[in-house]
Amino acid sequence: MIGNESELRAYLDRLAKLGAPDLRAEWTKVYERPAPRRISKDLLIRGIAYRVQEQMYGGLKPATVKKLKEIAAALKEGRDLPEAPKRELHPGARLIREWAGKTHIVEVMPEGFAWSGKTYRSLTEIAHLITGAHRSGPRFFGLRDKRRRPDADGERIAERLR
């Protein structure tokens, strides 16, 4: 078990240097089950890093766990999903989206959105640059109606981190 910040930092640095087979073994160690079959190296690293930090700092809030269980039950029973609360983006929040095998991270800034070393006024500008087509940026990053059919070229994995 990792005991302090410097050990955590060293562990995360070591993770970034591992190959896919070693990352899959590490996933099995931290989750006590095999990694999903079709998962990119980048998401293996992120998943392992999340789990280790969760063990060190604590997991999700009970209210979040409850909401996730409600959503899972609705999906399992074929019911409509509960209404999602309106999402407000605050500076420092990060949006993560995998598209065509590459993970894109956008950080919410006071003056716009930072992606790939530049700041943009809107998420739609960034979605256009990523996909090469005009798309709704909020929808592309999972901030709008998730009940619609997911994109064929990428899996929606937008999340809000603080």
Q: Look up the pTM and report it.
A: 0.47
- Which residues, in sequence order, are bridge partners of residue 131? none
* Per-residue pLDDT tens over the stretch 30-69: 999 999 998 999 999 999 999 999 988 888 889 889 989 9
What's the pLDDT score for residue 114?
97
- Per domain, the residue ranges of the chain are 5-57, 61-85, 90-162
What's the pLDDT score for residue 146?
53
Distances (CA, A) of 110 to 37, 91, 104, 162: 39, 5, 20, 14
What's the pLDDT score for residue 150?
45
What's the pLDDT score for residue 26?
96
What's the pLDDT score for residue 85?
67
What's the pLDDT score for residue 154?
44
Residues of the chain with pLDDT under 70: 1, 84-87, 145-162
Whole-angstrom Cα Rg for the chain: 17
What's the pLDDT score for residue 162?
32
Let me know: does 129 contact 121? Beta carbons within 8 Å. no
What's the pLDDT score for residue 159?
38
